A and B are shown apart, each in its own frame.
Chain A
Amino acid sequence: MIKTIGQRTASSILSLFVLMVLVFFLSRLTGDPAVLFLPIDATEQMKEEFRRLHGLDRPILDQFWTYLGDLARMDFGESLRKARPALEVVLEAYTWTLPLALITITLVMAAAIVLGSLAAFKVGGFFDRMVSIISLIGASAPDFWIAIVGIVVFSIGLGWLPTSGVGTPLHWVLPVAVLFIRPFGLVVQVVRGSMLSALSAPYVKTARAKGVKNLPLIFVHTLRNGLLPVITVLGDQAAALLNGAVVVETIFGFPGIGKLMIDSILQRDFNVVMAAIMVTALAIFIMNILIDIAYGLLDPRIRY
């Protein structure tokens, strides 16, 4: 186990480094922050000063070495927009995205496992049809459109839920509901498929012959064996959520990492973009290790 984690870490650090170099140089191709941050009538001298203040006037390789040096001391630089350390800005946004991702993925997991198992138990039945309809919607409807229709119906039409922002638990309902649909549609199909094959195993027949009732048969006997492929897909979906839901966060004015990312890219706040990419990579890395541990717990035959 320790050895696997070590190998994982080494290869992750390598690809993260390549990613970092690419992002550093490519993002600096996208234009000069001085033009974006200073007022339109700023003189050339003011722009010069702004660039010197933030070290943007030096040769780009020079900037890169300085950045690497600072990074080694865990210094991610300052945010141009907020005049605060970039890492602090990113971590603050993460305290919003993390609960959003956790709530969504927990709901997805619970709903997908229950509905998917029931669908597999009775193929073509009520649950099966419901599952395939929701999956189709999830795969075909753009999330911003679902969000907008949700706002029109539940906020403007019925007035039940707030349109955007954070503050009360009610503010979380629409974002979670919109984020729920696509991962649910994907995961529930995997649950259904893997439960279908798990339910056809001989030991299920034995259990049935012994007179085990339907519900314990599904959820106690079969589920554990059907869960392995589900964990993999669930992990992919969780990774996507940890990356921040740019569109949904933008629509609902949710101050998470996705919104921070798009705002920082649009305003050329390079240090924040870099910090956001690295913090997200770390979160996904931790999650992947948790998933490996979950594999081992679910199936003791898996050894590392």
Chain B
Amino acid sequence: MADTIPSTDAPVVIKAPSLLSMLWRDKLAFASATVLLIILAVAIIGPSALGDLATQQNLRGRNFPPFSLERGWVFFLGGDSLGRPMLARLIVAARSTILIALGTVLAAMAVGTTLGLIAGYMGRTVSEVIMRLADVIMSFPSLLIAVVVLYVLGPSIPHMILVLAITRIPIYLRTTRAEVLEIRERMFVQAAIVLGAGSLRIILRHILPIVMPTVITIATLDFAFVMLAESSLSFLGIGVQPPDITWGLMVSQGRPYLSTAWWLAFWPGLMIVLTALSLNLLSSWMRVALDPAQRWRLEARRTRDV
């Protein structure tokens, strides 16, 4: 008898597909991940492989129009106002753009999550102080922070990361705190307390693993946002300064030539759009894939998620 009735406590074991095969099934997310990997690889390898190609000025190639192989493949996307090949410049700029965004997200995530864990787990006073601090950061004009840091510490990529990281901390802080407030009331945390686990152990071993998927999803989304913020600051002239170069700065340098050479501002902007688009698509996939409650949508073979 027992064999004929599917028993509830021993369900048919379906081999859980790996993250990679789940990614392969969602073609859009897979394409995004591929694009991001290519950009990352180019950003890491590209600049050293190019040598000084990106800085070599050639006044005869000034504003050289794109889509022509006459001057070699590096000029396929055109030349800039000093006759430097756009393609090479884009590759060099990719490194600093990615570096700044990555550094910012990691720094803001580390500090914000730590403070959020503390604010959520510790008593009311600590929590209040941290939250008011977050309020002040959020209402402080980020342009002013940028100018202060730029003037007092000098323009450089690490300082740029500092400026952006300060403004992004509240996002991680608030999310983490909200989650911790809910998680710490759950039974397993109570059980851990009863068993005599210390605060540090509870936070790191019991609460952090549950908060992490949310934080990582936000970080992916935030990566795109930080990239846009950095490019806006660089565009306004209070971000990265030449000879350092990012995509945002390239758009700003191409702006005076809009009516004669559109490609100067167009390509770097397109690179920003492409990267941010991939990040957004990947992040919406991750939101489902990393959430145990929603994962079945991707695991179920023929179900298409809505």
Contact = CB atoms under 8 A, between A and B. Distances in A.
The contact size tier of chain A is 35 or more
Nearest to B133: A18
Contacts of B262: 152
A30 B152 contact: yes
B265 A29 contact: no
B136 A246 contact: no
B59 interface: no
A18 B258 contact: no
B132 interface: yes
A247 interface: yes
B141 interface: yes
A15 B265 contact: no
A26 interface: yes
A213 B144 CA distance: 54
A148 B258 contact: yes
A140 B231 CA distance: 12
A22 B136 contact: yes
Contact of A142 (B135, B136, B231, B306): B231
Contact of B276 (A15, A139, A144): A139
Interface string A12-44: 000100110011001101110000000000000
Contacts of B255: 148, 251
Contact of A145 (B139, B273, B281): B273
Contacts of A23: 140-141, 144
B148 A30 contact: yes
A262 B235 contact: no
A123 interface: yes
A139 B236 contact: no
A273 interface: yes
B193 to A, nearest CB: 33
B265 A148 contact: yes
A266 interface: yes
Contacts of B245: none
Interface string B240-277: 00000000100110010011001001100100110011
Contacts of A22: 136, 140
Contacts of B143: 246, 261-262, 265
A136 B235 contact: no
A279 interface: no
B181 interface: no
Given A15-B136, A19-B140, A144 B147 contact: no
Contacts of B265: 145, 148
B151 A29 contact: yes
Given A27-B148, A30-B148, A261-B141, A145 B251 contact: yes
The CB with the most chain A CB atoms within 10 A, among B143, B151, B237, B252, is that of B143
Contacts of B272: 141-142, 145
A219 B65 CA distance: 52
A273 B144 CA distance: 9
Given A152-B266, A243-B141, A265-B143, 15 more contacts: A19-B136, A30-B147, A30-B148, A136-B277, A140-B224, A140-B280, A141-B272, A145-B265, A145-B272, A149-B266, A152-B258, A247-B235, A250-B236, A262-B236, A266-B238
21 contacts: A27-B148, A29-B152, A124-B306, A140-B273, A140-B277, A142-B272, A142-B273, A144-B235, A144-B269, A145-B265, A145-B269, A148-B251, A148-B255, A152-B259, A152-B262, A243-B141, A246-B143, A247-B236, A251-B255, A273-B144, A277-B141
